[in-house]
Amino acid sequence: MATIEYVLGDITEQHVDVIVNAANSSLLGGGGVDGAIHRKGGPEILAECRKLRAGHYGSGLKTGQAVATTAGRLPARWVVHTVGPVWSATEDRSELLAACHRNSLAVAAGLGAKTVAFPAISTGIYRWPLESAAEIARAAVADAPVDLVRFVLFDRAAYEAYARP
């Protein structure tokens, strides 16, 4: 059974094996967590993402899928990039949000990672309501095949949604 913990902080500063990036299907960067990871991790991460796009992921990473690169100058060993669903009030995309978490953990475990940090995927630019995202994310990591899952929440509202008992 993995230990699940919740911290208020910046995911780029986490000393864990894997940090998960809330990316987009282009894999070529963006704002939010994605922007911070590429900015602080340096050009090596983007270079690896470009190679992925030139190879197996020619048409991009689909929503819910996950793929790894190294972590450049970040303290983590790897970045696992995943694409969360954009919030929809008319279509239930919960399974895709759960799949992001499960597939990221499977990729991490395949690398031999024991400790994995997640941001609050889809709750920023993709507008997923915090309480709902927290419930889905927590359930999706309950059987994580690693020793530690750490949710790294960037502000107090996200922390309170994810860390509530």
126 binds ligand AR6 (CB under 6 A): yes
Pick the binder of ligand AR6 from 16, 17, 24, 69 (CB under 6 A). 24
32 touching ligand AR6, by CB under 6 A: yes
The verdict on 151 binding ligand AR6 (CB under 6 A) reads no
| Residue 23 in the binding site for ligand AR6 (CB under 6 A) | yes
Binder among 5, 10, 95, 147 for ligand AR6 (CB under 6 A): 10
CA dihedral of 12, 111, 142, 79, whole degrees rounded to 10: 20
- What residues contact 59, with CB distance under 8 A and at least 6 apart? none
Q: Select the residue interacting with ligand AR6 from 41, 64, 72, 84 (CB under 6 A).
A: 84
Q: Could you give the CA distance from residue 160 to residue 165 in angstroms, rounded to a whole number?
A: 10
Give the residue, chosen from 41, 64, 72, 119, that forms a contact with ligand AR6 under the rule CB under 6 A: 119
Question: Token digits for 49?
Answer: 């993402």
Rounded to whole angstroms, what are the CA distances from 155 to 11, 43, 67, 142, 158?
12, 27, 26, 23, 6
Q: What residue ranges bind ligand AR6 (CB under 6 A)?
A: 10-12, 22-24, 30-34, 36, 84, 119-126, 152, 154-155, 158
